[in-house]
């Protein structure tokens, strides 16, 4: 369940000081986050999402269009929901953060 407009929320990497180091084997990526010191093993989709957010803040809908697989068995709504869940997971791991937030405090501005 989601609120209207939630998918329009933009995401970005956490800080301009944050460095993400990628190394790939087949379709899996090992990513080291200099900000947290953690190392993550990501699948192709997650790594592409992260690389895209490194370039510029982006919302889930745009990410889905850019990264969506050719698998037509899933509807766009299902794909967007999966991307939204992925973004929440990356946020939990301190890889990305929201540009805007519906909670009433001053959000970090999109760079």
Partner 1 sequence: MTIKKHQNDNMEDKQSSESIEDKTKSVDPSRRRFTKSGLAASGVILTLASRPVLANAVCKSPSGFLSGNTSTHIVEMCFGNYPDYYANNPQAWYGTQYQPGTYNNQKENSNSIGNSSSTNNVDKWVGGTQFQEAFTGSRRFPGRSMMQVLWMGDPMGAHLCAALLNAALGLTPPLTEARIVDMCLEYETKGYFEPIAGVHWLEGDIIYYLQSLA
When binding is defined by CB under 8 A, the residue of 2, 6, 8, 15 that contacts partner 1 is: 15
Site track 29-48 with partner 1 (rule: CB under 8 A), x = hit? -x---xxxxxxxxxx-xx--
Residue 50, classed as helix, strand or coil, is: helix
DSSP code, position 109 = P
Applying CB under 8 A, does 111 fall inside the site for partner 1? no
Query: What spatial distance separates the first Cα and last Cα of the chain, rounded to whole Å?
Result: 29
Report the candidate in 45, 58, 41, 50 with the shortest Cα–Cα distance to residue 90.
Answer: 50
Listed in sequence order, the residues at least 6 apart from 2 whose beta carbon sits closer than 8 Å to its beta carbon are 81, 84
Applying CB under 8 A, does 9 fall inside the site for partner 1? no
> Interface with partner 1 by CB under 8 A: which residues?
15, 17-19, 21, 25, 27-28, 30, 34-43, 45-46, 49, 64, 67-69, 71, 74, 78-79, 81-83, 85-86, 89-90, 92-93
């Amino acid at each position: 369940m989601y609120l209207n407009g939630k998918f329009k929320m933009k995401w970005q990497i956490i800080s301009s000081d944050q460095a993400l180091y990628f190394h790939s084997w087949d379709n899996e990526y090992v990513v080291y986050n200099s900000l947290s010191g953690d190392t993550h093993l990501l699948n192709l989709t997650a790594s592409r999402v992260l690389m895209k957010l490194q370039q510029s803040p982006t919302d889930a809908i745009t990410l889905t269009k850019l990264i969506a697989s050719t698998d037509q068995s899933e509807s766009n709504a299902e794909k967007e929901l999966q991307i939204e869940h992925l973004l929440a997971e990356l946020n939990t791991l301190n890889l990305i953060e929201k540009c805007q937030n519906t909670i009433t405090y001053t959000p970090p501005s999109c760079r």
